[in-house]
Amino acid sequence: MKIVSLNGLLGYGYAIEGLERAMTMDIDYIGVDAGSSDPGPFYLGNGTSFTNRDAVKRDVELVLPYALNKKIPLIIGTAGGSGGNVHVQWMREIIEEIAIEQKLSFKMAIIQSEVTREYVKEKLRAGKIINMGPGLELTEEIIDRCNRIVSQIGIDPYLKALESDADVILAGRSCDTAIFAAPAIKAGMDWGLAFHMAKIIECGALCSIPMAASDIMVAEIEKDSFTLEPANPIRRCTIERVAAHTMYEQNNPYYIYEPDGVIDLKETRYEQISDRAVRVANSQFIEAEVKTLKLEGTMLAGYRTITIAGINDPETIKRVDTIFGEAKEFIASNMKGKISSEDYVITLRKYGEALPDSIPQHTPSCNLGIIVDVVAKTQNIANTICALARARLLHTDYQGRKSTAGNLAFPYSPSDIICGPVYTFGIYHLAKVDDLCETSSINYVKVGE
């Protein structure tokens, strides 16, 4: 069977020529990952998408008519960027808008994977929460502070949806691999090969030369191997690039961890079968003794205001940490009785500073970019503290300073940028589950009727 990965992330774009070529290849399924936690917790917490609506709509409105006309199921995972119910609804509205504009009608399965705070509390009380790192102890207080919690589903809810013969499957937060492994496993393909294939193609043509997340990859999976070939003829797959992408975002080069189990890559073999295609074989699946799903929950951490500036005076650069320390002391003293230092955190972020001794360099940097980053209890406090810090850094004196002009150059006016609410991951944990479908629900709707 053949599966198309539309691109590395819905809204990133792809070449129409690649789509047209792929549609001549007897494709069985089209899949695309529509989200990620890489952009951080803000979008899950705020209920918005980090991808642009017009760009997402463009990617869908081109492929959807092809999929329907050729009766190729279209699978979209982690809808709306973060996969919460609000994100799924956002993506659903785009699809329905396209259906109206193009006079399309079809059956759509909608998988939601958001969970309640009480669900997580029950898992915590039962000792079924696993920390994913030090300092991530979960408490009921943290759970109560979370405004939205999603579960990262695996293949099982997708397998259920595939049984319905839906034309489109639209899913909430998902493992990237589930989007592509599920149809292969439904067709009876080897689980190890299916998951390994899915792990590589979920990023579109990122495993090709020249690499591009914004282009199409075609995978053909058989009983004993799978083959990868970019749809766009300007790209090609090589053993080195395919093997390298297998290790993408993995902390172990030999194992890929999924809710259902582990893919063992120690015996995997790669073969260059043409100048553009690579065949992969011998990847093994080991079923997990304990099934788990990752939970992601966000909570409000404060409000942010930043200012961006440049420094090109070597003497100022040498003393920037001291100057910043003095600025913090000035702010605390100046606002005493008005704003508590407990109500904000101010950080100086530096870009272009002299490199560590371990990295060869010719001359110390004489250009430094800085960001004054303030996160506070309220937006007004963040604005106030950032303004004071910016003014103090701009005009403060230091030993040996000759000029009375400003220390900073600002690329923008206004110099202070209000970023709004800041979210953090309060929940980033694994939950032991009895049923890998227990956090998801599936609804079936008729679109365009």
CATH of 300-425, one of 1.10.3470, 3.30.70, 3.30.1490, 3.40.50: 3.30.70
C-alpha distances in Å from residue 100, one per residue of 95, 306, 448:
9, 42, 6
* Tokens, residue 183: 């149809």
* Tokens, residue 103: 């006079």
Q: Please, where in the chain does CATH 3.30.70 lie?
A: 300-425
Q: Global pTM?
A: 0.94
DSSP-derived 3-state class of residue 94: helix
Per-residue pLDDT of the chain (449 residues; tens, 9 = 90+): 999 999 999 999 999 999 999 999 999 999 999 999 999 999 999 999 999 999 999 999 999 999 999 999 999 999 999 999 999 999 999 999 999 999 999 999 999 999 999 999 999 999 999 998 777 899 999 999 999 999 999 999 999 999 999 999 999 999 999 999 999 999 999 999 999 999 999 999 999 999 999 999 999 999 999 999 999 999 999 999 999 999 988 889 999 999 999 999 999 999 999 999 999 999 999 999 999 999 999 999 999 999 999 998 888 998 999 999 999 999 999 999 999 999 999 999 999 875 555 545 555 557 899 999 999 999 999 999 999 999 999 999 988 888 888 999 999 999 999 999 999 999 999 999 999 999 999 999 999 97
Strands (DSSP E) contained in 234-283 are 236-237, 255-258, 261-264, 269-272, 278-281
Identify the helix (H) or strand (E) that includes residue 285.
strand 284-287
Identity of residue 68: L
- Given this model, what pLDDT does residue 314 score? 86
Say which residues have a Cβ less than 8 Å from residue 83's Cβ, sequence separation at least 6.
35, 44, 77, 113, 114, 150, 152, 171, 172, 173, 174
Q: HSE (CB half, 13 Å, CA atoms) of 77?
A: 31
DSSP-derived 3-state class of residue 232: coil
Distance, in Å, from the CA atom of 392 to the CA atom of 326, rounded to the nearest integer, reads 9
